[in-house]
A and B are shown apart, each in its own frame.
Chain A
Amino acid sequence: MSGALKTAGHAPAPVSGHSGGQHLHLVVAGLLAVLTIGAFGAVWGGLLSGAALFPVLAFLAVAQITLQLLFYMRLRWDRRLFTMLFLGGVVLAVLIDLATKSMLVR
């Protein structure tokens, strides 16, 4: 408890060097909302169909994920190691999906 009292009068350490500020959080949330409406509208409103639908939905999902990773999860400002680690997880995830699909084809 003494450790807590010792520094209680000071500001908590910044949780990250940068985070873009409150304004950026609102802008990113607005962009994410627009992308979500776009994806929902493409399916619900029947704006797109058939072969065009899948690439559009995939693009919108990737755009949303990229925005969240860069600005909400602060990878834009944080150590590159964290980006590499997370991308490693994503690559592993894609490989698992591909392996399952190829098993299915056989």
Chain B
Amino acid sequence: MSHGADTAELASAPSGPFHEATAAENNKLGIWVWLASDCALFAALIATYLTLHNSVQHAPTAAQLFDLRLTATATFVLLLSSMSMGIGVEALQRNDVPGMRRWLWLTVALGAVFVGMQAFEFTTYWHHGLTLSASDFGASFYTLVGFHGLHVSFGVAWILSLLIFSYRRPITAADAWRFEAASLYWYFVDVVWVVIFTVVYLMGKVG
């Protein structure tokens, strides 16, 4: 195919508000399919944890180790970040780009604090003898909670990339869905944390 033909093909490609809206819907559908499949992935990890959490060998148990005050604080941090994300996307809807940036920076900061708290928690448990190979409980705990931590880290990087993008060029109608996609992902990460907080930490503390 010649270069001229390529140009003609591009020029006749569908464009305009209708095309943008349809593309955004399709992209959103893709995000929801991804989140639904991620649900199954986390379910497998949670099921593995539930199967192995009583197998502690000589390592410390969940009831001995878990500091609920730290985890509850981390939960509030993540909860606040969901709120700031929502208000940020709301600001974008009103075309308040500086407002959107402020709230998204706050979201990034809160996400980073959450990851930092998780790193602190892991380090503390490690020093108390719960290593990855110390027991089946340790292996399944670090895998599940660490995998969630990776999700949060990825979310922070994603939102950061959107922020950088917003400084480099104007946000157009065609770009707006990217922010919604990131917000959906961020809320999903929060939803998964609610399950982990309940199943792993709260129920783990009471045995």
- Measured between beta carbons, the chain B residues less than 8 angstroms from A39 are 197-198, 202
Interface of A is mostly: helix
Distance (Å) between the CB of B193 and the closest chain A CB? Answer: 10
Partner of B202 from A25, A43, A104 at Cβ < 8 Å: A43
- Measured between beta carbons, the chain A residues less than 8 angstroms from B175 are 4, 12
Instruction: Please report the C-alpha to C-alpha distance between residue A29 and residue B106 in the assembled complex, in whole angstroms.
Output: 15
B42 at the interface (CB under 8 A from A): yes
Is B35 a contact partner of A86 (Cβ separation < 8 A)?
Answer: yes
Total contacting residues, chain A, CB less than 8 A: 59
B134 at the interface (CB under 8 A from A): no
Distance (Å) between the CB of A63 and the closest chain B CB? Answer: 10
> Which residues of chain B from 29 to 43 have any CB-CB distance to chain A below 8 Å in the complex?
29, 32-33, 35-40, 42-43
A43 and B68 contact, Cβ closer than 8 Å, known pairs A13-B173, A97-B50: yes
- Measured between beta carbons, the chain A residues less than 8 angstroms from B194 are 61, 64-65, 68
- Measured between beta carbons, the chain A residues less than 8 angstroms from B50 are 97, 100-101
Q: Of all chain B residues, which has the CB nearest A40?
A: B72
Is B28 a contact partner of A90 (Cβ separation < 8 A)?
Answer: no
- Measured between beta carbons, the chain B residues less than 8 angstroms from A65 are 191, 194-195
Distance (Å) between the CB of B65 and the closest chain A CB? Answer: 15
Partner of B44 from A11, A22, A81, A96 at Cβ < 8 Å: A96
B142 at the interface (CB under 8 A from A): no
A25 and B47 contact, Cβ closer than 8 Å, known pairs A73-B187, A89-B40, A93-B39: no
Instruction: Please report the C-alpha to C-alpha distance between residue A99 and residue B79 in the assembled complex, in whole angstroms.
Output: 31
Q: Of all chain B residues, which has the CB nearest A92?
A: B40
B21 at the interface (CB under 8 A from A): yes
- Measured between beta carbons, the chain A residues less than 8 angstroms from B40 are 89, 92-93, 96
- Measured between beta carbons, the chain B residues less than 8 angstroms from A13 are 17, 20-21, 24, 173-174, 176-177
Distance (Å) between the CB of A105 and the closest chain B CB? Answer: 11
Q: Of all chain B residues, which has the CB nearest A7?
A: B172
Is B43 a contact partner of A97 (Cβ separation < 8 A)?
Answer: yes
Is B86 a contact partner of A7 (Cβ separation < 8 A)?
Answer: no
Stretch at the interface among B1-9, B87-95, B153-161: B87-95
Instruction: Please report the C-alpha to C-alpha distance between residue A90 and residue B93 in the assembled complex, in whole angstroms.
Output: 30
Partner of A19 from B44, B69, B89 at Cβ < 8 Å: B89
Is B36 a contact partner of A12 (Cβ separation < 8 A)?
Answer: no
Interface centre among B48, B86, B92, B174 (most CB of A within 10 A): B86
B121 at the interface (CB under 8 A from A): no
Q: Of all chain A residues, which has the CB nearest B83?
A: A29
Contacts A3-B172, A86-B36 supplied; 6 other A-B pairs, CB < 8 Å: A15-B180, A58-B198, A68-B82, A86-B39, A96-B44, A101-B51
